[in-house]
Structure 1
């Protein structure tokens, strides 16, 4: 490792290298190699007219030594890199997080580069003191954090707010990945169902289940409030048709359309991040946490086995683990337990719809309706996250 390596790594001549450039290059090679090269690099930088500072070189030796000995944490290394004065904070006080370098989209890449350039200007102007940061000066660190918070939340000359546009890009990427996964799962579901006989709609069961369901949905508390949120009904009227009502609610369990109303939440309760979730919020969170692949495996297995099969959370977790329809790795007991816990929020809601009976046995109504409901959920663009 030599000065030429650092220049190539940073894409700059030696006279323009910053502390961040050197630190990133040092971290790109084994710590032992970097430690051995440190003295020669310091002399080469001095000869190039860009000596940096004694505080930087001492901090580099300390950090690399800690890495080599195995005593440095990831946080220690990140903190040292940020102490160069031109490294954007990985996590700000407002909980803004930059994407990893290889995961940044065009907007995040542009904004990250703009912030680095902005910080370099502030270092050159003397508004950021990298040596104070390297010494662990708390006041210097706070000022450094404040500068970055201000830049992220303030508008650029073109009106864009860096923190917002980066977050928007990340959201768009997340939604695109979600849509792609959902489309694939829908295609697989339709392929599987095309190979199975189409169950006859159980008219009497559907009519009786919807009569009970209407009472549940218009009643107070759980499970009616969760089911209304799943279907996105809010305070509006319920559909007149039984099939439309049943499928909308059943589909909502696999793809919740809205959240629970927050009319009863106080400001203090909303701001208390350490407070426990209510049973209703916990149930809805579990529904949203179930992956498309797990829904696909569970419903496909139940569709193949038909009425009378046990559909308890434990059995569903096992069906998913044994499924040939998805590529799943659930070899550890913890994986089964996690899946079982998530579907523990599903089966009580299924019972309210008559999908399963009180013993957790799949009914003819559930056998007929579950595949249709899942197809409806994945064919809709109204689910949370879309």
Structure 2
């Protein structure tokens, strides 16, 4: 590691290297290598007229030594890098988080580069003192954080607000990944169902009974009606008259909840209550189940047919043993987590006639689960 390495790593000539540039280069190699190279690097920087400061080199040696000895935490290293004065804070006081370097999209890349350049200008203008930051000065750190917050939330000349456009890009990437995963799961579901030797006919009598119970549940506040309404998106809307449409829409909503629980006006009380209500816990559990888990569970139940045990414990085992998905659930904690999530699912299934009081799959559940899952994942429904 030498000055040429640092310049190449930063993409700048040696005379223009900043503390951040040098710090990032030092962290790019093993700490022992960086410690050995640092004296020569410091002399080379001095020779080209860009010596940096004694405080910087002292903080670099202390940090690299802590890394080498195994006593430095990730937070310690990040804090030192931020103390160079031109490193964007990873987590701001308002909880804005920059994406990881290898996960930034074009907008995040642009905003990050703009921000680094802005911070370098503020150092040149004397508004940021990296030596005070390196020494852990609390006032300097607070001012540094405030300056970063201000830039992130102030419109650029073109009207874009950095924190907003970076967040929007991350949301778009998340939604795109979700849509891709859902489309793949739907294709796999259709393939699996097409390969089954027999698909059941709709059990009309069971559906009618289940729809009657469902309408009664949806008419009253509280669990399970509140959760079922949220899953199906019925809050403030009309409930279908057709039994088949009603039942499938609710079952599909369990696999892909459409809305949140109704606001009952107790926001202040909820904020003070650290524990989730039963309704909130149920909806959170439904939202936490992955497409792959739904696919594995429903495919297995469709193959096994009515009369098979569909308890949370059995479903978690079916998912772990599934050949339809790639999953590693040898860890008992993974099995326990899946079982816990599906405890909320089977409880709601029981109200809908999908399983009976003994958690056994019914003919209605055998017919309806694949139908509802396809509906949940179909973009036009």
After TM superposition, the score normalised by the length of structure 2 is 0.98
SS of the equivalent of 2:81 reads helix
**Aligned-partner Cα distance in 2 for 1:100–1:235:** 40
Shift of 1:265: 2.5
What residue in structure 2 maps to residue 65 of structure 1? 65
**Aligned-partner Cα distance in 2 for 1:268–1:116:** 42
The one-character-per-residue Cα deviations of 1:131-161 (angstroms, maximum 9, x if unpaired) are 0000000000000000000000110000000
SS of the equivalent of 2:99 reads coil
What residue in structure 2 maps to residue 189 of structure 1? 189
Shift of 1:209: 0.6
Aligned: 1:336 with 2:347:
no
**Aligned-partner Cα distance in 2 for 1:200–1:235:** 33
What residue in structure 1 maps to residue 167 of structure 2? 167
What residue in structure 2 maps to residue 278 of structure 1? 277
What residue in structure 1 maps to residue 301 of structure 2? 302
**Aligned-partner Cα distance in 2 for 1:346–1:106:** 40
What residue in structure 2 maps to residue 311 of structure 1? 310
Shift of 1:195: 1.1
What residue in structure 1 maps to residue 230 of structure 2? 229
What residue in structure 2 maps to residue 262 of structure 1? 263
What residue in structure 2 maps to residue 202 of structure 1? 203
Q: Return 304-313 or 235-244, whichever deviates more.
A: 235-244
Count of aligned positions: 380
**Aligned-partner Cα distance in 1 for 2:151–2:235:** 40
Shift of 1:268: 5.4
What are the residue-to-residue correspondences of 1:1-386 with 2, within 5 Å? 1-196=1-196, 197-267=198-268, 269-270=270-271, 272=272, 275-380=274-379
**Aligned-partner Cα distance in 2 for 1:15–1:301:** 65
**Aligned-partner Cα distance in 2 for 1:266–1:6:** 53
CA RMSD in angstroms, aligned pairs only: 1.0
The one-character-per-residue Cα deviations of 1:25-60 (angstroms, maximum 9, x if unpaired) are 000000000001111111100110001000000000
Shift of 1:276: 1.0
SS of the equivalent of 2:234 reads coil
SS of the equivalent of 1:328 reads coil
SS of the equivalent of 2:218 reads helix
**Aligned-partner Cα distance in 2 for 1:275–1:138:** 31
**Aligned-partner Cα distance in 1 for 2:101–2:17:** 20
**Aligned-partner Cα distance in 2 for 1:145–1:238:** 50
SS of the equivalent of 2:344 reads coil
The one-character-per-residue Cα deviations of 1:249-287 (angstroms, maximum 9, x if unpaired) are 0000000000001132233534x4x71111101100000
Shift of 1:381: 6.1
SS of the equivalent of 1:95 reads coil
**Aligned-partner Cα distance in 1 for 2:238–2:54:** 73
The one-character-per-residue Cα deviations of 1:43-89 (angstroms, maximum 9, x if unpaired) are 10011000100000000000000000000000000000000000000
Shift of 1:246: 0.3
Shift of 1:220: 1.9
- Which consecutive unaligned segments of at least 5 residues does structure 1 have? none
**Aligned-partner Cα distance in 2 for 1:380–1:306:** 27
**Aligned-partner Cα distance in 1 for 2:60–2:113:** 23
**Aligned-partner Cα distance in 2 for 1:335–1:381:** 33
After TM superposition, the score normalised by the length of structure 1 is 0.97
Shift of 1:235: 2.9
